[in-house]
Amino acid sequence: MSMKHLHEYRDAEIAKKLINAIHSLKPRPMRFMEVCGTHTMSIFRHGIPALLPPWIELLSGPGCPVCVTALKDIDTFVSLSREKDVISATFGDLMRVPGSESSLGAQKAEGRDVRVVYSVFDALVTARENPDRAVVFNAVGFETTAPTIASALLTAEEEGISNFSIHSAHKMTPPALAALLDSPLVNIDGFLLPGHVSVITGTDGYRAVFDRYRVPSVIAGFEPVDILRAIYMLALQNLSGEPKLENAYERAVSPRGNPKAREIMTRIFAPADAMWRGIGTIPASGMVLKQEYDRFDACKRYGIRVEETPEPSGCACGDILMGIKKPVQCPMFGKGCTPVHPAGPCMVSGEGACAAYYRYMGDGESKKL
Ligand code: SF4
């Protein structure tokens, strides 16, 4: 993307025109969910809620990978880090996410070898450099990261790296949208679909869900102008009564997405029912290693099987990830739960809705909340 184009996506004049266009529409209450955690952060960083008319409400969705990682998966990561000679490689955000009795950060403090990596390939390098130890990568994320994990496993296979394995808590986006729309508690007039995930899935990746539920849906980029444009398109769809699946991130997302990345992903992973933290099990929404890649499955390698434990009482992350509640409606927000002492995953991750509210809305007194 040229500097000229980058400038356009942050252009205050274009943003102002879009804001005016939104305000000039016929007022009608509308609730739009930004599915992706990166959108949540961008929306708050740029103060977008305060720029919208009062009849448009934005809700955060289940697109923060750390937030939706099930308690059981966090407990599994913790158990794996306790195995003899294991180096546990993890994304930084996961360190402080509380499991049922510990966290990866607490394990590190107790002397386990837990290392923060920025990519699965860093973990692979660690495996190469430590042939006498075993490296377990804690794999979380969506369609965006899964192809990279799959590619790392193929590299490990090619190079005969046998001291590397993963526990996959990977998830897919379209089944989560369907689960939200199936819930009688959820009330959404439109989705701002995630830009990064859509680079892989393409617009076509949402076609089946859109055709079934006919809810206005627009793929959006991450600059303020991208987000405002998508909101405007969602509002127009609502007012016209003609729901559409549209792409407002044409510079990065094509109708077919990235078939090569999907091919690598589906070579390694198979769909499976998956538990989403605070939401529950969503059919065929997870990505588990196919049987022929069992040798990379850390749980099978170490014989680990963790039972699901109930969520600690008080944390409303599930309702927040489904757009049923806003962070300020959680009694612990800013009291028992802050970014320094998080009680739930939505306050830990930089992409979590509670963390975004706390950071950019402070005490939650804003009228837009
Ligand atoms: S404020 Fe804390 S306890 Fe409440 S929902 Fe958010 S993360 Fe959970």
Residues 91-149: pLDDT tens digits? 998 999 989 899 999 999 999 999 999 999 999 999 999 999 999 999 999 999 999 99
**Residue 150 Cα to chain centre, angstroms:** 18
Is the shortest distance between the CB of 320 and ligand 1 below 6 Å? yes
Q: Give pLDDT, residue 8.
A: 58
Residue appearing with tokens 């975004």? 356
Distance (Å) from CA 183 to ligand 1 centroid: 21
Q: Give pLDDT, residue 310.
A: 80
Q: Is the CA virtual torsion 148, 153, 157, 159 positive or negative?
A: positive
Phi, psi values for residue 182, rounded to 5°: -80, -20
Q: Give pLDDT, residue 1.
A: 46
Distance (Å) from CA 169 to ligand 1 centroid: 21
Q: Give pLDDT, residue 114.
A: 98
Is the shortest distance between the CB of 348 and ligand 1 below 6 Å? no
Q: Give pLDDT, residue 279.
A: 84
Distance (Å) from CA 293 to ligand 1 centroid: 37
Q: Which of 71, 103, 320, when mutated, tests ligand 1's pocket best, judged by the most ligand atoms within 8 Å of its CB? A: 320
Tokens of 140: 């979380």
Q: Give pLDDT, residue 313.
A: 76
Q: Which protein residue has the closest C-alpha to ligand 1 atom 1?
A: 333
Q: Which of 330, 340, 359, when mutated, tests ligand 1's pocket best, judged by the most ligand atoms within 8 Å of its CB? A: 330
Distance (Å) from CA 318 to ligand 1 centroid: 9
Is the shortest distance between the CB of 346 and ligand 1 below 6 Å? yes
Q: Which helix (H) or strand (E) holds 217?
A: strand 217-219
Phi, psi values for residue 351, rounded to 5°: -95, 0
Q: Give pLDDT, residue 311.
A: 76
What is each CA distance from 122 to 31, 90, 117, 257, 362, in whole angstroms?
Answer: 40, 10, 6, 26, 36
Q: What confidence tens digit (pLDDT) does each residue in 224-256 have?
A: 999 999 999 999 999 999 999 999 999 999 999
Is the shortest distance between the CB of 344 and ligand 1 below 6 Å? yes
Distance (Å) from CA 340 to ligand 1 centroid: 12
Residues of the chain with pLDDT under 70: 1-10, 362-369
Closest ligand 1 atom, residue 330 Cα = 4
Residue appearing with tokens 């049987």? 291
Distance (Å) from CA 61 to ligand 1 centroid: 14
Domains and CATH numbers, the chain: 67-172+257-302 (3.40.50.11740)
Torsion of CA 216, 219, 224, 228, to 10 degrees: -20
| Sheet strands (E) in 140-188 | 164-168, 170-171
